Structure 1
Amino acid sequence: MSLRTIALVACCLLLVACNKINQANYSKLEAGMAKAEVETLLGRPSECAGALGVLSCTWGTQERFISVQYAGDKVLMFSGKGLQ
């Protein structure tokens, strides 16, 4: 196995280990948390959309994600899919 292959495998493993979209972080979410606290926990969201004072942000992909809905700056509700 070449050094290049070993480095590529190591980088892939590191990226998987650093993924913040997981059950452990999902379990730390609570209604009433500030948006800044959620972003400290999960990082910057993949996308956000809002209307009428309600903001919905998603982290991850269609297969594996955490979605958080905010009223003002506080968590109203949240959901997840494909978490391990």
Structure 2
Amino acid sequence: MKKVLTIAAITLLLAACSKVDLEHYEKITVGMDKTEIETLLGSADKCEEKTLHTNCIWGNDSKNIAVTLVSNKVTLYSKKGF
């Protein structure tokens, strides 16, 4: 029982530390550098480089912030799940 409670507490702490929320999303602006986004949100969970742009996602399939970068500058961004 103690082990289950410990695991539950750790899970809640990790979820509470997530920067994938409306407060952080509202701080994103078009033109921000990739380093500014990483300072705000931390390292992306997934980035996919295309020919002319890079798509990065912070979070998971159900709750995330997606950012499109061109020349390491934010050009588009969206949120899902909040």
Q: What range describes the TM-score normalised by the shorter chain of this pair?
A: 0.7 to 0.9
TM-score, normalised on structure 2? 0.87
CA positional deviation for 1:3: 4.2
The alignment status of 1:27 with 2:26, answered yes or no, reads yes
Determine which structure has more spread, i.e. the larger CA radius of gyration: 1
Q: Which residue number in structure 2 is paired with residue 67 of structure 1?
A: 66
Listed one character per residue, the Cα deviations across residues 61-80 of structure 1 (whole Å, up to 9, x for unaligned) are 11111100011011001001
Q: Which residue number in structure 2 is paired with residue 56 of structure 1?
A: 55
**Match for 1:43: what amino acid?**
G
CA positional deviation for 1:5: 3.9
Structure 2: state its 5+ residue gaps. Answer: none
**Match for 1:28: what amino acid?**
K
CA positional deviation for 1:37: 0.7
Determine what percentage of the aligned residue pairs are the same residue.
35
TM-score, normalised on structure 1? 0.85
Q: SS of the residue aligned with 2:66?
A: strand
Q: Which residue number in structure 1 is paired with residue 81 of structure 2?
A: 82
Q: Which residue number in structure 1 is paired with residue 43 of structure 2?
A: 44
